[in-house]
Structure 1
Amino acid sequence: MKLLARLAFAALLAVFAIAAQALVVTDERGVAVDLPKPPQRIVTLLPSLTESVCTLGACDRLVGVDRYSNWPESVRALPQVGGGIDPNVEAIVGLKPDVVLPARSSRVTERLEALGLKVVVLEPKNHADVRRVLDVLGRVLGTDDAQRVWRAIDAAVTAAAQAVPESVGHTRVYFEVNGGPYAASESSFIGETLARLGAKNIVPGSMGPFPKLNPEFVVRADPDLIMIGERNAQGMEQRPGWSRIKAVRNGRICRFSADEADVLVRPGPRMGEAARLMARCLSSTLERK
């Protein structure tokens, strides 16, 4: 009887241990996702989520990533499952993940869930979103580092802002995210960083975080400074009417390398580095006045 009692007690402790690890998180859709324990096999479908998982100390739990995830260096060796919007479902299933982390724009979320996979949808678009997503990821991963990471990001942005000369204040900036053209507005994480650096974004937040613009909009807005990745800058000066833009006439264009552009357009742990890149751009344009 004593042996049976001990076995029953041990089984009860095991149940309590499992229950203690189980958690429920609410994702971008407002869907409550129950996870029996912190996942050990994770697939990410957004570069910023890949970077956040790694910065939270769980890079070793990644078993697959989207084709654009390339930082830190170790993730380049992981299986790629296609693009974030329309990834290869069969490849994801084959990796047997405990959880998949896609963006809200992904087209395969419902299909993955129908196949029995746990899916937590996360897609930060502004600073508050980044902090919230880090918190959710921290809970998913079972780590308490999320707020430490956020404080480091916030402190780095503040330091970058303090390094920008006051004379840069109110410089009117156009930030092109990619071809289309798609721009970063005031309400995006990029726009919020620009505001903290003292710059003025020509694209209002009312247009959405990353609106597709008519190129004539930029001509009419006539920015003082253009920030753009070198991949998108090819032939920019030849766009209709763009030769009249003040920034083009005065050569006040910051062309970022491919690696720098990746840092700038990903809302995650490297936002402090992105702020430093933008601050350097703003400061250097003073020399071209």
Structure 2
Amino acid sequence: MKKIVSVLMAIILLMSIAGCSSPKKETAKQVKSESKERVVATTVAVTEIMDALEVDLVGVPTSSKTLPKRYKGLPEVGNPMSPDMEKVKSLKPSEVLSVTTLEYELKPVFDGVGMKANFLDLTSLKNMQSSISDLGKKYGREKQAEAVVTKLDKKVASIQKEVKGKKEPTVLILLGVPGSYLVATEHSYIGDLVKQLGGKNIVQGEQVEYLASNTEYLKKADPDIILRAAHGMPDEVVKMFDKEFKTNDIWKHFAAVKKNRVYDLEERLFGTTGNLAAIEALDELKKMMYP
């Protein structure tokens, strides 16, 4: 079972964190950093954070998503799951930035070629804020970091005030890729967003972010709401979920299905790691949890 979950997670991360990365013709020419720091960001979320901190980069991930204008024309270093080490090394980075979700797979690779990599913890809002503050101190961008962190704090406080006193819904979060899906726990990023809004994840007592699905167990928990996150190929995954919910008889017995409380999450807002779209994501999630 653990092997199955590991394989599925690898597929999900490859699709979602990479931002549906696809090879692009290299038209950019390398630009020199204005400071002694030569930083390479290997995920879209990290790239957007560095832009908010107004930190220059010398390399960015390959992605079909639009990256910040600040980094237009920079060399691309491949997808987050398997960066092109030769390309990264050629940029002579003082630091390479990735995420803790990929640390187990990538740290040995970076160590093997003698490159320093820093893995940012974006598994929750608080962890993301802490990582942003640390980067602000490291690169002399304390003011910018404080602005980002404060904005997130204010949003969380405001939205929690809005939902205070309301019945806390129980929630099931499904994370899908074409052909299969996992159950997200409260330790996943989306699980943390649900928790911030007062929701209770039906999967309790686990330490991992994702688990293999057991529909019989899920039915016994009978959540008020079902959230379906589609990553990598959202259109295909939504179709897969629709087919699963129509052909697998057990789903029609869920209260959430009977009451039309099943929601497909927009990939742009609800990734497998934290990102700066968190404020908009919280607003959208509030509408689903407290209609």
State the 1:71 CA deviation: 4.8
State the 1:270 CA deviation: 2.6
Q: Which amino acid aligns with 2:238?
A: A
Q: CA contact under 8 A between 1:185 and 1:191: conserved in structure 2?
A: yes
Q: TM-score, normalised by structure 2?
A: 0.71
Q: Which amino acid aligns with 1:52?
A: I
The number of residue pairs the alignment matches comes to 244
Q: Which residue of 1 aligns with 2:246?
A: 238
The runs of 5 or more residues in structure 2 that have no matched partner are 1-33
Local SS of the residue matching 1:43: strand
State the 1:150 CA deviation: 1.3
Residues 1:38 and 1:102: Cα distance change in structure 2 (over 3 Å)? farther
Q: CA contact under 8 A between 2:168 and 2:198: conserved in structure 1?
A: yes
Residues 1:187 and 1:82: Cα distance change in structure 2 (over 3 Å)? same
Local SS of the residue matching 2:86: helix
Q: Which amino acid aligns with 1:140?
A: K
Q: Which residue of 1 aligns with 2:3?
A: none
Q: CA contact under 8 A between 2:160 and 2:197: conserved in structure 1?
A: yes
State the 1:173 CA deviation: 1.0
Residues 1:207 and 1:86: Cα distance change in structure 2 (over 3 Å)? same
Q: Which residue of 1 aligns with 2:267?
A: 258
Q: Which amino acid aligns with 2:135?
A: L
Say yes or no: does 1:97 pair with 2:93. yes
Local SS of the residue matching 2:269: helix
* Larger Rg, first or second structure (1 or 2): 1
CA distance in 2, matches of 1:54, 1:266: 17
The 10-residue stretch of structure 1 (229-238 or 152-161) with the greater mean CA deviation from structure 2: 229-238
Residues 1:176 and 1:111: Cα distance change in structure 2 (over 3 Å)? same
Q: CA contact under 8 A between 1:46 and 1:69: conserved in structure 2?
A: no
CA distance in 2, matches of 1:89, 1:51: 22
The 10-residue stretch of structure 1 (247-256 or 104-113) with the greater mean CA deviation from structure 2: 104-113
CA RMSD of aligned residues (A): 2.9
CA distance in 2, matches of 1:119, 1:72: 22
Residues 1:199 and 1:112: Cα distance change in structure 2 (over 3 Å)? closer
CA distance in 1, matches of 2:218, 2:76: 37
State the 1:210 CA deviation: 3.0
State the 1:225 CA deviation: 0.9
Q: CA contact under 8 A between 2:229 and 2:267: conserved in structure 1?
A: yes
The runs of 5 or more residues in structure 1 that have no matched partner are 1-36, 285-289
Q: TM-score, normalised by structure 1?
A: 0.72
Residues 1:98 and 1:125: Cα distance change in structure 2 (over 3 Å)? same
Q: CA contact under 8 A between 1:42 and 1:99: conserved in structure 2?
A: yes
Q: Which amino acid aligns with 1:173?
A: V
The equivalences for 1:211-250 within 5 A come to 211-229=211-229, 231=234, 232-236=237-241, 237-238=245-246, 240=248, 241-250=250-259
Query: Percent same amino acid among aligned pairs?
Result: 23
**Residues 144-199 of structure 1: per-residue CA shift (max 9 Å, x gap):** 132332121121122223334844x2211112233342333223343333223222
Local SS of the residue matching 1:227: strand
**Residues 64-84 of structure 1: per-residue CA shift (max 9 Å, x gap):** 225376454665765433332
Q: CA contact under 8 A between 2:185 and 2:201: conserved in structure 1?
A: yes
The one of 67, 76, 81 aligned to 1:80: 76
Q: Which residue of 1 aligns with 2:63?
A: 67
State the 1:206 CA deviation: 2.0
**Residues 21-47 of structure 1: per-residue CA shift (max 9 Å, x gap):** xxxxxxxxxxxxxxxx97643222233
The one of 150, 173, 176 aligned to 2:174: 176
Q: CA contact under 8 A between 2:58 and 2:91: conserved in structure 1?
A: no
Q: Which amino acid aligns with 1:80?
A: E
